[in-house]
Amino acid sequence: MAKKKNSNKLNYIIFSIFIAFIVGSYFLNFDLGERIGSNFMIFARDMVSILPPAFVLIGLFDVWVSRESIENNFGHTSGFKKYIYAILLAATTVGGTFVAFPVANTLYHKGANYSSIFTYVTAASLVMIPMSIMEASILGVKFTAIRIGVSLPLVIISSIILGNFFSKINYKIPKAE
C-alpha cells in the first residue's frame, strides 16, 4: 500500500510540474509550451465530453447485460461467433481505447474468454465506424476494405494465440481494490 501511495504522490508532483511549465510558458511567451498547453486543453475538453457519457453506458452495460449472455456469446463455448460479436461491439465503441479497456474489463469479469477480449480491444482501434467512414472518404473504399480485410484475420489469429497462452499459464486479471 505504501508503494501505491508513493506512486500517487509522484504522479501529482509530475502533473504539478507539467502545469507549472504550461503556466510559465504563457508568462514567458514560450511558444512550444503554449502549444503544448493548447493541445492539452483540447484533449482535456474532448475527454471531459466523451468519458462521462461513455462510463454511464459502460455502467449500464455492466448492470443490464447478464453474465450468461456474455458467457454464451463471448465465452469458451461460443465458437467462432465470439470473434464476430467482439468485432461488431468494437465497431460501435466510441471513445477509442479510453472506453474499450473498461468494456473489456467488464467482459472479462462477466465470463468472456481472453481471445474474444483481445479481439475486441484490438478491433476497437481498427474498425470504429466513424473512423472507417472518414478513412474511406479520404483514402478510398478499396484501401479501407483491404486494410480491414487484412487486419481482422491477423487480429483474430493473434488473439487466439494470446488467449491460449494466458489460459495455459492460468492468468487472472486482478479485481480493482
Residues 6+ apart with CB under 8 A from 70: 107, 110, 111, 112
CA nearest to 98, candidates 156, 52, 62: 52
Give me the pLDDT at residue 58, please.
87
In this structure, are residues 25 and 17 in contact, taking their beta carbons and an 8 Å threshold?
A: no
- Between 10-24, 126-140, 163-177, the lowest mean confidence (pLDDT) is in 163-177
Percent of the chain residues topping a pLDDT of 90:
64
Is the pLDDT at 166 greater than 70? The verdict is: yes
- Digit-coded pLDDT (tens) for 69-91: 999 999 988 899 999 999 999 99
Is the pLDDT at 55 greater than 90? The verdict is: no
User: For residue 151, what pLDDT band results from cuts at 50, 70 and 90?
Assistant: very high
Residue 59 lies in a domain: no
In this structure, are residues 82 and 73 in contact, taking their beta carbons and an 8 Å threshold?
A: yes
Residue 60 lies in a domain: no
Is the pLDDT at 2 greater than 60? The verdict is: no
**Residue range 35-49: average pLDDT?**
91
User: For residue 4, what pLDDT band results from cuts at 50, 70 and 90?
Assistant: low
Cβ-based neighbour number of residue 72 at 10 Å: 14
DSSP string, 57-105: HHHHHHHHS-HHHHHHHHSTTSTTHHHHHHHHHHHT--STHHHHHHHHH
The C-alpha cell 458467457 sits at 71
User: For residue 1, what pLDDT band results from cuts at 50, 70 and 90?
Assistant: low
Same structural domain, 14 and 99? no
**Residue range 32-49: average pLDDT?**
91
Question: Which uninterrupted H or E stretch holds 125?
Answer: none
Please tell me which residue, 49 or 144, carries the higher pLDDT value: 144
Cα–Cα distance for residue pair 122/41, rounded to 1 Å: 28
Helix, strand, or coil (residue 94): coil
Is the pLDDT at 59 greater than 80? The verdict is: yes
User: For residue 51, what pLDDT band results from cuts at 50, 70 and 90?
Assistant: confident
The C-alpha cell 508513493 sits at 6
**Residue range 6-33: average pLDDT?**
92
Cβ-based neighbour number of residue 55 at 10 Å: 14
φ, ψ for residue 67 (rounded to 5)? -60, -40
Same structural domain, 24 and 79? no
Give me the pLDDT at residue 112, please.
93
Residues 6+ apart with CB under 8 A from 89: 103, 120
Same structural domain, 79 and 103? yes
Same structural domain, 90 and 146? yes
Q: Give the range of the structural domain holding residue 93, as residue numbers without chain letter.
A: 65-177
Angle, in degrees to the nearest 10, between helices 129-139 and 141-168:
140
Torsion angle (degrees, nearest 10) of CA 62, 74, 90, 107: 30
Number of domains in the chain: 2
Same structural domain, 91 and 34? no
**Residue range 127-136: average pLDDT?**
90
Same structural domain, 93 and 129? yes
